């Protein structure tokens, strides 16, 4: 028997992932929307980012695919890296229980190392693949993006993740 509760919206993230494969879908998720209680607008993309930490693996996979597809928009890379700070959301599922030394922690977002040995790396290889592809897409968007990723200490997490990666497809990426 499945002990997980039924989630009627678990496949919606897959629909979003499919929608963002085309430019119009990406543009829709990246449009600023304002509500009466907000001074600054937010995008639908920013609102779905927390789903990367969902307990539901189908939601996590669809969200990772959506992040990857959004990273196809090279014109949005500065906004993604500096305003949304998507790096921490991409790296969180890739981070594991490894003990990092002080030099590795320096400049790294605290969410990525504070859980210590209790942190569990994403178990789904497809989700990990989507996240690594998102990092590669951000790297390909220009020198400033690569510098930002370097400042965010992406290499530290990728190094540890690659050491324990079992999927050949993810490691080759």
Residues 88-104 have pLDDT tens digits of: 999 999 999 999 999 99
C-alpha to C-alpha distance for 100 and 53, rounded to whole angstroms? 21
3-state secondary structure of 32: strand
Cβ burial of 67 (10 Å; 0-12, 13-18, 19+) is buried
Percentage of the chain exceeding pLDDT 90: 79
* Alpha-carbon distances of 13 from 48, 114, 169, rounded to whole Å: 9, 28, 23
Calpha distance 51→29 (Å, rounded) = 15
Alpha-carbon span 83 to 103, nearest angstrom: 25
For residue 34, what pLDDT band results from cuts at 50, 70 and 90?
confident
Does 3 have pLDDT greater than 70?
no
Q: Torsion angle, CA of 117/161/156/130, rounded to 10 degrees?
A: -120
What pLDDT, on the 0 to 100 scale, is given for residue 1? 41
The pTM of the full predicted model, rounded to 2 decimals, is: 0.92
- pLDDT computed for residue 35 by the predictor: 73
- pLDDT tens track for 48-69: 999 999 999 999 999 999 999 9
């Amino acid at each position: 028997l499945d002990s997980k509760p039924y989630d009627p919206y678990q496949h919606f993230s897959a629909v979003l992932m499919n929608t963002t494969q085309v430019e119009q879908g990406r543009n829709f998720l990246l449009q600023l929307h304002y509500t009466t209680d907000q001074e600054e607008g937010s995008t639908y993309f920013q609102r779905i980012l927390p789903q990367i930490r969902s307990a539901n693996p189908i939601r996590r996979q669809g969200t990772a695919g959506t992040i990857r597809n959004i990273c196809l928009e090279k014109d949005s890379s500065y906004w993604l890296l500096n305003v949304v700070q998507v790096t921490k959301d991409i790296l969180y599922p890739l981070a594991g229980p490894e003990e990092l030394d002080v030099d590795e922690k320096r400049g790294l977002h605290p969410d990525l190392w504070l859980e210590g040995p209790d942190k569990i790396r994403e178990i789904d290889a497809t989700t990990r693949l989507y996240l690594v592809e998102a990092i590669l897409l951000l790297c390909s968007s220009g020198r400033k993006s690569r510098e930002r990723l370097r400042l965010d200490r992406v290499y530290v997490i990728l190094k540890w993740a690659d050491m324990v990666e079992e999927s050949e497809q993810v490691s080759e990426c």
